[in-house]
């Protein structure tokens, strides 16, 4: 945080309002939308903190559209976000990892200007073992010239470069919010004594390099040969890298954002198109990474330049410090 802020108590709402001063035509609608996200994540955080005593642990006894086991807290987080955002009149469409289809809460138009895409509880398989988990979100502007008869997909299937905001919340030893609207990445910590997210770092910069890599090496025999070669180098005397892998994307990315390094989820024989979802995982984190000076790619294409073709499309993801991402690619395409 800069010296001017050192003794100030700046909430996320105040921070957004200050940013809007640079845009005289801003109406406050966007900050009202973001306040819905922060409200939802504060409620989710309260359930996460009492998960062992609130009967929200364990499986919900169903699978989602991706074939993954849904946890009780997954369902609860999804409902909370949908309710908090559904009352925001600027929201037209909600897209969740947990829902088969998008929710059109209002027909996109003059008032309903935004599409919100989100993973309500990333890393939910770690809930029962008390590992950090989180919420990831992405915001797009509805297309003004899209035909109503074409349904919601034209508004949703936009390239990542069209995002107007993105962010995540990590529920860990402290609850941290990071967001960007295209003017840098800013971080806030939830102060439980006042119930508000308070600014602690502005214009976060990801280190240009970092000798840490994050990957599930159990799958390494089925990675592309170049990625296997990179891992061999990174662990050898030439690299001297350390492995840091939590198994919760949002937590692994948070560490990489602050300390540098690279996170890898390349294609495998089981998931040749990758495993992570483009719209509500890879795109928002790629937006944050680039705003902090990092990079994100699927191994061939910049993540933010990819044209989505389906709601729950998957992608490989290499994300982190720019030098480290480039180094992985140099092995991959050697």
Architecture of domain 212-332: 3-Layer(aba) Sandwich (3.40)
Same fold, 3-201 and 212-332: no
pTM value?
0.92
Rounded Cα distance, 282 and 144, in Å: 25
**30 pLDDT exceeds 90?**
no
**305 pLDDT exceeds 50?**
yes
Query: What are the sequence ranges of the domains in the chain?
Result: 3-201, 212-332
> Which pLDDT score, from 0 to 100, does residue 334 have?
73
Instruction: Place 4 in a pLDDT band, splitting at 50, 70 and 90.
Output: very low
Domain 3-201 matching CATH 3.40.50.720: the answer reads no
> Which pLDDT score, from 0 to 100, does residue 281 have?
97
- DSSP-derived 3-state class of residue 198: strand
Which parts of the chain fold into alpha helices (H)?
12-20, 29-49, 72-86, 153-156, 225-235, 249-259, 283-291, 322-332
Rounded Cα distance, 113 and 231, in Å: 44
Average pLDDT of the residues in 32-49? 91
**302 pLDDT exceeds 80?**
yes
Instruction: Place 3 in a pLDDT band, splitting at 50, 70 and 90.
Output: very low
Average pLDDT, the chain: 89
């Amino acid at each position: 945080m800069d010296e001017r802020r050192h003794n100030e108590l700046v909430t996320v709402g105040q921070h957004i309002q200050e940013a809007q001063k640079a845009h005289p035509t801003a109406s406050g609608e966007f900050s009202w939308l973001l306040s819905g996200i922060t409200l939802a994540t504060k409620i989710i955080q309260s359930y996460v903190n009492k998960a062992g005593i609130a009967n929200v642990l364990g499986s919900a006894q169903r699978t989602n559209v991706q074939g993954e086991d849904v946890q009780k807290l997954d369902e609860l987080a999804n409902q909370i976000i949908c309710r908090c955002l559904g009352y925001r009149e600027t929201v037209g469409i909600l897209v969740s990892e947990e829902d088969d289809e998008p929710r059109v809460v209002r027909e996109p138009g003059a008032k309903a200007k935004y599409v919100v895409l989100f993973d309500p509880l990333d890393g939910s398989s770690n809930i029962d073992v008390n590992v950090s988990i989180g919420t990831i979100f992405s915001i797009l502007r509805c297309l003004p010239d899209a035909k109503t008869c074409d349904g919601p997909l034209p508004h949703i299937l936009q390239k990542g470069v069209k995002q107007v905001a993105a962010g995540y919340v990590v529920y860990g030893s402290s609850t941290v919010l990071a967001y960007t609207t295209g003017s840098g990445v800013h971080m806030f910590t939830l102060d439980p004594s006042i119930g508000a997210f308070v600014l602690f770092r502005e214009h976060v910069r990801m280190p240009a390099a970092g000798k840490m890599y994050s990957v599930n090496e159990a799958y390494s025999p089925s990675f592309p040969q170049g990625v296997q070669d990179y891992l061999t180098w990174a662990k050898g005397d030439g690299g001297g890298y350390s492995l840091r892998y939590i198994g919760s994307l949002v937590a692994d990315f948070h560490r990489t954002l602050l300390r540098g390094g690279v996170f890898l989820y390349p294609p495998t024989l089981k998931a040749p198109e990758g495993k992570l979802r483009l719209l509500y995982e890879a795109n928002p984190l790629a937006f944050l990474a680039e705003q902090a000076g990092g990079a994100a790619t699927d191994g061939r294409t910049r993540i933010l330049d990819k044209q989505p073709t389906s709601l729950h499309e998957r992608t490989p993801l290499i994300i982190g410090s720019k030098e480290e991402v480039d180094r992985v690619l140099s092995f991959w395409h050697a």
